[in-house]
Chains A and B, each alone.
Chain A
């Protein structure tokens, strides 16, 4: 009588599994969850092991008297020796100050700029929007070199005079020229476009209905800004902090050029004699990454979700700056961006025509014989010609080989990281409360929060052993780049997917539209600008990435290591020429993407 049809436990389990796999986002989460787990954990384990390994010819061998094996002496020596302050505590403190300062500068500059571009009627927005991203296009240390060329002076820095000292006799104080301040300014300016892209993306897609409702209720403007606008962009500000903090912390070239000792510079300088201790520094940097991720987790739990793109119509109301105001503010920004974006490019171009690196004789004399085209056109390196044994840029095989290598790595990283990140972002947004989804998202994000130099070091150790040796291969660069840059796409993808009301996809599901069609016909087109950012950011970043790849290949292998090589050697004509090549390349790609898809990095935000 009571016999009812009862499915067996096995059938229930099978059905559950079937149901689980019937949702595409579960498949995506499962697969990429496994991939990111392995690709993130393995390098960490490798570098952790290295901190206990005895390295011949280094301090651990000296202290243990053994040429191989394992020891804890590296930890003991780093934390307790007389060198602890020099090797650990001072660099650590400098690193934290640098990261915090960079976040402040970039968010203030980039955030205000994003607001002005997207939410006001400021003049010349298209021009300003395009020009603002230039410092992010350029390798970060080239701004440091420009800073030196501008502000160094014989009287203060003990070098030859920079432009300001030689043309106007102005000697800037030492804190302006060297150390923490210029480092955080340069990095802040470099990452400001980053803040602009992330914050601007939210500003642009934000429905003004909420603000309008507040206005109708006669809420004061400041209150609207703090109670309505800021909470809505808070996720983007937090994203910016997350991304900029780790990036600036792991920056090697800027503090290196501007004379600031950080964990990154210390890692490189200690690596020859204190190899194991240097690996501990990398671990410490990674710990910062994990702590930032946990803090992000905490903020996510308390963070309210704001859907800003819905099926209903929405529009942005723009603040009127006034007939004069909109030009005055624009003019101020034109001047500022001239120095952050135009001047470096002009300076790079000019540098390639100087007879000697940093030789500004032409400016004093106006004599064109103090200019030369040799850095571009020399087609042999047999006779000296003041070329330091190099052929001119147009004929230099090393530069063009490196260019090809860079393009290959950047395109591969952008396609792989962009696609994986977008899918992860989509899948996580569909299953946001799921623990596995959160785990996958955080695990994919973790490498980005870890300083580049530490990630590079970890991958170097992981792939330099008796089983596999990938040093100086494009494979290694692509693997490392993809793992590092997935968060660019997953972050922007998640942010944009969360803005997308579920009703849009649900409408398609009711119509039985297949998943791939929903993605390609509905979701991706709506959030095109954010998704393209997810491809363009890895591409642009990869083009001029140095800290991440510094330890993974030789100079001449890719353009950034070649550029850094020439910069270190003081051959600024070559490094400036390479910079120009990079800038032109990125602009060409930006334009191509714009023409083909109608979206681009800056136009997605405020160009239109």
Chain B
């Protein structure tokens, strides 16, 4: 009997231990069932009448008419002593939150708020937000998220995320919240073509990057979906036109190499419903996908290119990666050139994509989420977590100017005397330059979502280059 009781007790205790777990972080009570009610896929839903707005949307509507300080007071009232959960593709939300809390403390010195910032990997942010949206009241108050394509199709059309436009942001951009048709971007980041200059090779046209034998270093488009969005965007009329212009600037010999591919793409472009220059875009994409050397991240690409042994290698990578390169015997920022900065360079200089800010539609702290979003987009301090580094451009022109004044990224490559150029590549020419002279291809979420299963499926059919 004794042994039976012993065995039973031991087994039961283990089973109980297993089933109950050992106490984890952020456990949430089982909520009541609530199914998402996705909006039609075909077109973006028109603005709902006020009476049809969700509770969070009503708060957003109200918040859009408030000043930063009024909003801050609401946030203090709502979140004092509570915990704020945010989730984002950028880890720097974690750096921005303490600054935000400090700001709220300037209004109410007794204010306190705990916070947790999560940065999921491998596209999990969408699964995480989707799972959280099923609860009547979510865990996450807001998100900072990239990849306009998936945001549009998985988050906005399904009603999981809501856009809030801060009053000061709208004013700085010469508009009003109601007139803004799109998402609120915190910043635009640019991925730019850079090449190692320790050899003799130069790249003076964007078609050079897909020439015979070239294998640019690039994050695998299946790992980082915004990389795929870059390819989708090239098929838009504006950017296909840029590619055609660049093609026309090539020598006859160079044109002869690319011409058969462009010719072969004409029927494909027609089938995919692309514009007149679509064949140029498809040809460039085909040659790029079939040649790029996939890497796990922009970090290793940068580490490679700045090393003197990477002679004649090039890559398309986030510009800001240059910020942390230390000079040594074999590594130097002067070992690389930013292609678009070279005199005589023709064609696209890189790709610009955004970090967008949203309030979750079941946000537990909607006022605080709006206030935090306003703080990041409307103040230099709020943006400083990103603004202190080159290559990230605030969507608020006032903040962008203030950031440049404070951090001087346009002279980031100058020696201490302020006039001697020490590292040419680090003199960031700014958003205006990049989007005009620099010919930055900019992400358009709606366009990306529209072509994701036309151009997107075509891209997936291409045979990716494999160094192995």
* Most chain A Cβ neighbours within 10 Å, of B7, B40, B150, B296: B7
- Tell me whether B3 and A24 are in contact (CB under 8 A): yes
CA of A21 to CA of B5 in the docked complex: distance in angstroms? 10
Partner of B33 from A58, A158, A364, A467 at Cβ < 8 Å: A467
A568 and B297 in contact, given A166-B309, A258-B468 (Cβ under 8 angstroms): yes
Chain A residues, CB < 8 A from B34: 466
- Tell me whether A24 and B7 are in contact (CB under 8 A): yes
- Tell me whether A67 and B304 are in contact (CB under 8 A): no
Partner of B326 from A61, A355, A365, A423 at Cβ < 8 Å: A355
Q: Is A448 an interface residue (CB 8 A)?
A: no
Interface residues of B in 116-149 (CB under 8 A from A): 118-124, 126-128, 131-132, 134-135, 139
Chain A residues, CB < 8 A from B26: 472-473
Bitwise interface map of B from 169 to 181 toward A, beta carbon under 8 Å scored 1, else 0: 0000000000000
CB distance from A583 to the nearest CB of B (A): 23
Bitwise interface map of A from 240 to 281 toward B, beta carbon under 8 Å scored 1, else 0: 000000000000000011111000000011111100000000
Chain A residues, CB < 8 A from B427: none
- Tell me whether A554 and B331 are in contact (CB under 8 A): no
- Tell me whether B27 and A473 are in contact (CB under 8 A): yes
CB distance from A267 to the nearest CB of B (A): 10
Q: Is A303 an interface residue (CB 8 A)?
A: no
Interface residues of A in 157-175 (CB under 8 A from B): 157-161, 165-166, 174-175
Partner of B215 from A158, A355, A361, A569 at Cβ < 8 Å: A158
A469 and B28 in contact, given A174-B468, A416-B14, A464-B127 (Cβ under 8 angstroms): yes
Which of A204-212, A381-389, A499-507 faces chain B? A381-389
- Tell me whether B8 and A82 are in contact (CB under 8 A): no
Interface residues of A in 547-565 (CB under 8 A from B): 550-551, 554-556, 561, 564-565
* Chain A interface size, under 10 / 10 to 19 / 20 to 34 / 35 or more: 35 or more
CA of A477 to CA of B324 in the docked complex: distance in angstroms? 34
Which of A25-33, A115-123, A293-301 faces chain B? A25-33
- Tell me whether A561 and B121 are in contact (CB under 8 A): yes
- Tell me whether B324 and A259 are in contact (CB under 8 A): no
Chain B residues, CB < 8 A from A470: 24, 27
CB distance from B457 to the nearest CB of A (A): 8
Bitwise interface map of A from 353 to 392 toward B, beta carbon under 8 Å scored 1, else 0: 0011111111011010010100000000110101111000
A475 and B15 in contact, given A157-B467, A466-B33 (Cβ under 8 angstroms): no
CB distance from A381 to the nearest CB of B (A): 8
Question: Count the A-B residue pairs with Cβ separation under 8 angstroms: how many?
Answer: 282
Chain B residues, CB < 8 A from A570: 296-303
- Tell me whether B323 and A384 are in contact (CB under 8 A): yes
- Tell me whether B41 and A22 are in contact (CB under 8 A): no
A361 and B121 in contact, given A161-B309, A476-B24 (Cβ under 8 angstroms): no
- Tell me whether A359 and B128 are in contact (CB under 8 A): no
CB distance from B171 to the nearest CB of A (A): 30
- Tell me whether B330 and A359 are in contact (CB under 8 A): yes
CA of A165 to CA of B33 in the docked complex: distance in angstroms? 59
* Most chain B Cβ neighbours within 10 Å, of A358, A477, A514: A358
CA of A579 to CA of B11 in the docked complex: distance in angstroms? 36
CA of A474 to CA of B24 in the docked complex: distance in angstroms? 4
Partner of A272 from B4, B135, B225 at Cβ < 8 Å: B225
A420 and B41 in contact, given A272-B123, A386-B324, A471-B131 (Cβ under 8 angstroms): no
Q: Is A68 an interface residue (CB 8 A)?
A: yes
Return 23 A-B CB contacts under 8 Å, by A number. Answer: A31-B8, A31-B11, A32-B11, A56-B36, A56-B157, A57-B153, A59-B453, A61-B153, A68-B38, A355-B326, A359-B331, A384-B323, A387-B324, A388-B324, A416-B14, A419-B14, A460-B127, A471-B127, A472-B26, A475-B24, A478-B24, A554-B121, A570-B296
Given contacts A408-B22, A471-B127, A516-B6, 19 further A-B pairs with CB under 8 A are: A56-B41, A58-B154, A68-B36, A158-B467, A160-B305, A160-B309, A161-B309, A258-B468, A260-B468, A356-B326, A370-B329, A386-B325, A416-B18, A423-B14, A471-B128, A569-B297, A569-B300, A570-B297, A571-B299
Instruction: Identify the B interface with A (CB < 8 A).
Output: 2-4, 6-8, 10-12, 14-15, 17-19, 21-28, 30-36, 38, 40-41, 91-92, 95, 118-124, 126-128, 131-132, 134-135, 139, 150, 152-154, 157-158, 215, 217, 220, 222-223, 225, 293-294, 296-307, 309-311, 313, 323-331, 388-389, 449, 452-453, 456-457, 460-461, 466-468
